Amino acid sequence: MKLRSALVAFAVANALSGCANIDSNALMESGAQAFQAATLTNAQVKALSVKSCEQMDKEAQIAPADSPYTQRLNKIAAALGDNINGTPAEYKVYITKDVNAWAMANGCIRVYSGLMDLMTDNEVEGVLGHEMGHVALGHTRKAMQVAWSTTAARTAAGAAGGIAGSLSQSQLGDLGEKLVNAQFSQTQESQADDYSYDLLKKRGIDPQGLVTSFDKLATLEGSHQSTMFDSHPASAARAQHIKERIASGK
């Protein structure tokens, strides 16, 4: 699938190369970007994630160190740990009414104040454990490859105007938005749920918060107030899965 995205972008570049007033260097560069997207190394993904996260931070209102939100998050972060399978974790709160949280491959973890207003500390722990799971299991790496492929394809299509291959601030912001709004597969979501459960158990944290966080998200999904965790399986089914794991002790 990744290679197909790269080939599509490259084909767009080739198709445009026969038109007048086209920057062929830009076309070749964007085609190279598209191919690179399918073969991005872990280091390259992390480097792109660093830049994307930095741009997202610039565009957000971040809770200051003395904010009650930051103090709560510091407590939650201490419980969850400061790394994700060896990748240092870095936590911040965005001041916004939106109910969301996300993480990138470089260990950048962001939680929205709207979610913290809705949930207890234990529930936030469950949600962030899920987001950390997407990082640990390589899901965010794949999402970055897809997002980068899309950016490269758009650059190729606009190469007639001589658009440079390097990412501008707006493109970095767009790349970050694509990652934040990435739709993971049913299998990936279930894997991240199980990762969160296992992490909570390992850290001596009550996994019940993961169940009740799903219950609250299920209510929001019904009223279309949040798109978080809105891919299949539904939050109610995911809550039931964790309840079964708690009951079985496994």
Range of the domain at 31: 2-248
Judge whether residue 164 has pLDDT over 80: no
Give the pLDDT band of residue 173 (cuts 50, 70, 90).
confident
Rounded to an integer, the average pLDDT of 54-63 is 96
Number of structural domains in the chain: 1
pLDDT at 83 over 70: yes
Catalytic residue among 131, 189, 221, 244: 131
Check residue 100 and report its DSSP letter: -
Exposed, middle or buried, 150 (CB in 10 Å: 0-12/13-18/19+)? middle
In sequence order, which ranges of 40-168 are alpha helices (DSSP H)? 42-59, 68-80, 113-118, 121-136, 139-157
Tell whether the model's pLDDT for residue 104 goes beyond 60.
yes
User: What pLDDT, on the 0 to 100 scale, is given for residue 131?
Assistant: 97
When comparing pLDDT for 163 and 166, which is higher?
166
- As a whole-number percent, the residues of the chain with pLDDT over 90 amount to 50
pLDDT of the residue at 217: 87
What is the arithmetic mean of pLDDT over 79-108?
A: 96
Mean pLDDT of 32-38: 52
Backbone angles phi, psi at 202, to 5 degrees: -60, -35
Please say if 131 is a catalytic residue: yes
Tell me: pLDDT of 225 over 60.
no
| Reported confidence tier of residue 145, pLDDT bands at 50, 70, 90 | confident
Question: Tokens 């001041």 belong to which residue?
Answer: 95
Task: Provide mean pLDDT across the span 197-203.
Answer: 97
